[in-house]
Structure 1
């Protein structure tokens, strides 16, 4: 009985080895750096983000100025004037936070612009990765830059240059 079980296990493990899966990985950052449209889109996003951040900073600096002026004048103000100034500061702060949320928040303008500019590029890269996988009969391709922990990867499994070539660009020495 033990002999039959051992033979059966050997056959199962031998059969598993014969149908080994093929794996590879890509470096998405490396691929994206080779796409000129991505680089120009990223520059546009950085410029837009910097512009909006300056506006947010200016709003908060103005609020800080209002608060310092209020503190300096507080002893001279009547109760009604104090309440009015406090409400003005609170309202300006709410407006600044709302502006910040509209520009930088989840699904804010920056997110929408990023989606509009970057998503088509990511879709092209995804299709190219799939085409490389199909052409080289790979079962799985991991992204070296994703949250999956990749403890070791042989350079021969790196298909990033194949994806760049599939996209119509020339792989280089960017890393």
Structure 2
């Protein structure tokens, strides 16, 4: 009797799994369809270019200091030469720290991207939630993020539904 109860409980806990629906979307594709994304990307590119120009300027200054040192090397005492090398090394360290601060892991560029993309991603995720509820999906995957999907059946791709929810769908698209 005990085994029968365990079997019945196991059966009732497994059966709902077979009725669950899963789907996936490609948020990178959806993001690229949003007109606001182009504006955000343009702003990020401008910021990045500005920071790159600053870094190039700092690097040129260091190169000039090396050139001056080499040109004046015969006129300098060992102490003076060492003093200039220390100054140059300090500038190199400052340059590397600045590069890391701006372009490193969770640097200024990354933080600015997160700040500017958050409203767009929130909009997409709200649409995904609506589509998931309408389609009665238990789980929605994002194939453009960290999840590795070796195979995807197009029948379970809900990207077009999310685009429709955002008002970006293709009106001539009849396959859903």
TM (norm. structure 2) is 0.81
* Structure 1 unaligned residues grouped into runs of 5+: none
The answer (yes or no) to whether the contact 2:51–2:102 under 8 Å persists in 1 is yes
| Distance (whole Å) between structure 1 residues aligned to residue 69 and residue 17 of structure 2 | 79
Structure 1, 121-130 or 65-74: larger mean CA deviation: 65-74
State yes or no: 1:115 paired with 2:108.
no
Deviation at 1:132, TM superposition (A): 0.8
**Aligned match of 1:145:** 144
| Distance (whole Å) between structure 2 residues aligned to residue 58 and residue 65 of structure 1 | 11
**Aligned match of 2:166:** 167
State yes or no: 1:133 paired with 2:123.
no
| Distance (whole Å) between structure 2 residues aligned to residue 88 and residue 39 of structure 1 | 43
| Distance (whole Å) between structure 1 residues aligned to residue 104 and residue 148 of structure 2 | 29
Deviation at 1:32, TM superposition (A): 0.4
Deviation at 1:18, TM superposition (A): 7.7
SS in 1 for 2:24: strand
The answer (yes or no) to whether the contact 1:34–1:171 under 8 Å persists in 2 is no
Structure 1, 44-53 or 63-72: larger mean CA deviation: 63-72
Deviation at 1:72, TM superposition (A): 3.8
State yes or no: 1:30 paired with 2:26.
no
> 1:84-99 counterparts in 2 under 5 A?
84-99=83-98
Provide the alpha-carbon RMSD of the alignment: 2.8
The answer (yes or no) to whether the contact 2:124–2:162 under 8 Å persists in 1 is yes
SS in 2 for 1:30: helix
The answer (yes or no) to whether the contact 2:161–2:169 under 8 Å persists in 1 is no
Deviation at 1:144, TM superposition (A): 1.3
* Structure 2 unaligned residues grouped into runs of 5+: none
**Aligned match of 2:65:** 66
Deviation at 1:17, TM superposition (A): 7.2
Please list every run of at least 4 consecutive aligned residues from structure 1 whose deviation after the TM superposition is greater than 4 angstroms.
none
- Alignment deviations for residues 113-170 of structure 1 (CA, whole Å, 9 cap, x no partner): 2122101111111111111111110011111112222121111211111111112223
**Aligned match of 1:21:** 20
